[in-house]
Structure 1
């Protein structure tokens, strides 16, 4: 087993020496942290609201914190408590001058675990409230020659017992001792050189659930469950069925080979319902992305929600949002579990803000469509959703290649090309969604963007409309109850708290808190850099903090691409960075 090259070991030792000499009391008297994170604790996060134990804080994906010290009245006093620079390791910076920070910190009893875009894991002591002391850095020393993502990125870790689990962009799963930072084991999990791994793992019972990324380069998507003790494979569920498997009939290409590189990568973290032992995970778009004629059929299980049996990986049911899709509307984004009263009946829902601009409420016991409709201002690829099935109204199951709105399909109809709305960035993308059980509303951040797809097989270019919005939606009705539009697109995700607040970010570096009822902004700060990560909150010694990873790229290209609704020159004032910011009253 390979852990790290000598340079990585030397870097680790130098940090340990620094801690021992500069902050001896903190380093030598700290009790063991990270041990004792049991499955029972993960199932009951509200018993310890001070912590954030898993990617979405709770298995249901609601990203709601019961903490309320920072609230509508006090948030105006929010200020920077401390920050931590997450510098790229030597030898990597020259190849990738920036990394995308897209992760969510995990906090366990005053210790924080966070990843940078180069798949390094940091353990920080945040108990003092004045600074974060680095206890160790686990550098997996990934192979840069195998990386295809630009920029490199990583969404975070999972923890169980005294072990921290993380993925490496080059396709490894690593288990690290939470106390010492030493690698316990690692496993290569990719089977195709086009695949990558970026999503935060999810620990359920004795399994680590991980997903593949990079389906838009033609790899065949999958979800894997591996044993926490040694990383051995328990099961694998491919998102593209092989010939003869259920769903394979939806790949109708004459050569019968499109499934081999059909895409469908999940590239995000699942949600979990312990009462039925079910995992809920969304899947990406089919490959080739923009040419539906190249892969006739519905292309299962792309652009779908899969409900999986946790023990076996078997599909209990599925719901496909956009059959034979062609705009890069992959639906791997957040799937939030909500119990709601719909039409006077209590329903157990799984909710989703689609990248295709549509909201969906599904019965999470069987996948039937409950309610939904558009949540962005402009949707042009379809006229709407069938109220019974939730499919696009134009969907025809007898067709091998769907028409939808013909002039919106890549390549147009008769040479005429119209704007596809939303753009290939989608309404929401990978961004987490929050649900506040006090207001009984969902909160999502979105893009109000459109794109042109002049030729089949080619990516779209952004149209003139490029703004953002924060959406408040009632899952009982499936309708938007309030929307706040912003001059720059919203990126990163939403955080809802018992303080009556919703936190989110704009692409120009604005981090803000809003009233959860009116969506009126109550506090904001511009951090001067692109923000791609969602905020989270925790408390230590009775004091609440809000944390956010800031930095990403490519700054000039992506920010300029999405900032047309605001100041088009804003990208000139921003530089690549990688910083953890922590705020408090």
Structure 2
């Protein structure tokens, strides 16, 4: 495995068929004056590979800033811009939306979101994008609403609550008096919201809720460091997560799939998964505990973090689920905790369950399936199998038969692994990858033709500690579990993986952990940004840096490419990420070749 060092992130390759609004269509080259980026993953398969090649390895050194828009809202910025019919739609932090001329950056309209007062945000103000279809722009909000705007004017068409019942909140009062996290600032915690970009298919908007994993998010005292402790306190908090479909015309709910089943949440008490992972569980004690927690599923967790991929041939939707509740603290949740930390397949028309694969049963480490799944035809021995892949926090790229869910293969580890699946302890157990990943929410890029996938990931050792404290004399001690970054070095890793055999083709190590996502193109290029503000183009064959631009803010969002008036553009938002200590800002950056 080659492992070279670069100060800039590298990007990923994607395999794409261009999409018209919400329906897949044949990719175009440069004959048309406009080529859109019409959905979060470019197409419904979410491959993020563009067939455009006007910008390529030979001329990428001539790439220059075409236009820049400063939005005026300096906060964590994660959005994928959407481009339809020469108009760029960008969701800003706190769910404001801009419509811009994709060739010039001229503002066409702006929607200003009016948030519910005093609504607690789970994970900051960031939003990962909008969906555009049937003359409307759809956005999910930090205050758990789904809103439709007129694509021409930005006028609100409808506005619905998707999670009307708010959840109870964990408090630092439960922490022991000598725990330094007791007095630190809480960045996030229990609060239902929506982070993912919606996806539209067959006149339905599909979106899921987040913030039901129930953990206190504590600021790190070091401004340049990732999020501090994440703490799970034993208790009866909140609700299950869900993914749901809503009618594009009026927003009424068509179906809802709860990520925690009302019956059978405990599963089979498995100690080994089909991919060979062994879990050291006291299943006898868990079975005994079932009688004490008969309603555990009511507080189950299972956020839906990432935009689903859709197989239009079978009307099947694929998405990943988050950790169970309470986070990292398993006393009150015996069993496998289905369907948390799972890849789930549903019928797009009814929401009916088809299959699931649980990567980590009875999760103790926060191993959400955060990176979006991707669909592709997999060359498996002498067969071509319709497959679904997912880059995990644990450091492997998983491949499944997308019709049955059968586990087919996983890659070699794309990040260092140590003590994986060891239990948290009172003295503290250091594990990597941990709660941050591996592959966090960053989408991969997949080159179906050459059977390669490109993954942006991170190495960040985490210490998992179990505590007990007595709040009131004579009462039973309260147990809580914490995950905290260690003082060990952290870095990013960009990997090119051969899907055929799972081996690493090449890797690039970066100074900052990689979070945000990647783009690859037919021009043999990968594009990706870093937290220190570097945005780079790489040779997709070997990862060599071919071009760089330096922003004053972190570049921690997925790049896109599109064509407007016969000119190819590369676009990315630059606003950093507070959870990783990356400089926050408000820039939309768009590049083209010098004339």
Is the structural similarity TM-score above 0.5? yes
In the TM superposition, residue 548 of structure 1 has moved relative to its aligned partner by 0.5
Q: How does 1:322-401 map to 2 (within 5 A)?
A: 322-382=360-420
Q: Which residue of 2 aligns with 1:109?
A: 85
Equivalent of 1:514 in 535, 538, 561: 538
8 Å contact 1:67–1:544 — kept in the other structure?
A: yes
Q: Which residue of 1 aligns with 2:262?
A: 242
Q: Which residue of 2 aligns with 1:120?
A: 96
In the TM superposition, residue 246 of structure 1 has moved relative to its aligned partner by 9.5
8 Å contact 1:45–1:57 — kept in the other structure?
A: no
Q: Which residue of 2 aligns with 1:444?
A: 455
Q: 1:438 to 1:514 in 2, by over 3 A?
A: farther
Question: Does residue 422 of the first structure (1) align with residue 433 of the second (2)?
Answer: yes
Cα deviation, 1:142-172, whole Å, max 9, x if unaligned, reads: 1251032353011111111211111121111
8 Å contact 2:265–2:339 — kept in the other structure?
A: no
Cα deviation, 1:64-115, whole Å, max 9, x if unaligned, reads: 1111111111111111111111123xxxxxxxxx432111111112111111
Measure, in 2, the Cα distance between the counterparts of 1:46 and 1:60: 16
Equivalent of 2:76 in 100, 105, 111: 100
Measure, in 1, the Cα distance between the counterparts of 2:424 and 2:305: 24
Q: 1:46 to 1:256 in 2, by over 3 A?
A: farther
8 Å contact 1:37–1:159 — kept in the other structure?
A: no
Equivalent of 2:71 in 72, 77, 86: 86
Question: Does residue 321 of the first structure (1) align with residue 332 of the second (2)?
Answer: no
Cα deviation, 1:430-468, whole Å, max 9, x if unaligned, reads: 111101234331011000121111226333221303010
Measure, in 1, the Cα distance between the counterparts of 2:577 and 2:505: 33
8 Å contact 1:211–1:265 — kept in the other structure?
A: yes
In the TM superposition, residue 238 of structure 1 has moved relative to its aligned partner by 0.4
Question: Does residue 280 of the first structure (1) align with residue 256 of the second (2)?
Answer: no
Q: Which residue of 2 aligns with 1:567?
A: none
Q: Which residue of 2 aligns with 1:94?
A: none
Q: How does 1:173-252 map to 2 (within 5 A)?
A: 173-193=146-166, 194-217=191-214, 218-243=238-263
Aligned length: 494
Choose between structure 1 and 2 for higher RCO, CA contacts under 8 A separated by at least 6 residues. 2
Question: Does residue 502 of the first structure (1) align with residue 558 of the second (2)?
Answer: no
Q: Which residue of 1 aligns with 2:6?
A: none
8 Å contact 1:355–1:425 — kept in the other structure?
A: yes
Measure, in 1, the Cα distance between the counterparts of 2:269 and 2:451: 41
Question: Does residue 75 of the first structure (1) align with residue 97 of the second (2)?
Answer: no
In the TM superposition, residue 524 of structure 1 has moved relative to its aligned partner by 1.4
In the TM superposition, residue 380 of structure 1 has moved relative to its aligned partner by 2.4
Q: How does 1:541-580 map to 2 (within 5 A)?
A: 541-554=565-578, 558-559=580-581, 574=583, 576-580=584-588
Q: 1:175 to 1:365 in 2, by over 3 A?
A: same
Residue aligned with 2:317, SS: strand
Residue aligned with 2:362, SS: coil
In the TM superposition, residue 329 of structure 1 has moved relative to its aligned partner by 0.9
Cα deviation, 1:303-324, whole Å, max 9, x if unaligned, reads: 0010000111111111000001
- Per mean C-alpha deviation after superposition, the further-off stretch among 60-69 and 459-468 is 459-468
Measure, in 2, the Cα distance between the counterparts of 1:484 and 1:219: 41
In the TM superposition, residue 249 of structure 1 has moved relative to its aligned partner by 8.8
Question: Does residue 411 of the first structure (1) align with residue 416 of the second (2)?
Answer: no
In the TM superposition, residue 244 of structure 1 has moved relative to its aligned partner by 5.9
Measure, in 2, the Cα distance between the counterparts of 1:336 and 1:255: 36
Residue aligned with 2:93, SS: coil
Measure, in 2, the Cα distance between the counterparts of 1:524 and 1:458: 42
Bigger helix share: 1
Cα deviation, 1:456-512, whole Å, max 9, x if unaligned, reads: 633322130301011111222223222111122112011010000111122211111
- Per mean C-alpha deviation after superposition, the further-off stretch among 273-282 and 194-203 is 194-203
8 Å contact 2:123–2:211 — kept in the other structure?
A: no
Measure, in 1, the Cα distance between the counterparts of 2:539 and 2:269: 49
Measure, in 1, the Cα distance between the counterparts of 2:267 and 2:249: 34
8 Å contact 2:21–2:84 — kept in the other structure?
A: no
Measure, in 1, the Cα distance between the counterparts of 2:301 and 2:27: 35
Cα deviation, 1:375-416, whole Å, max 9, x if unaligned, reads: 33322244xxxxxxxxxxxxxxxxxxxxx4xxx32226xx4x
In the TM superposition, residue 267 of structure 1 has moved relative to its aligned partner by 1.9
8 Å contact 1:192–1:219 — kept in the other structure?
A: no
Residue aligned with 1:51, SS: coil
User: Which runs of 5 or more structure 2 residues have no equivalent in the other structure?
Assistant: 1-18, 167-190, 215-237, 271-285, 468-479
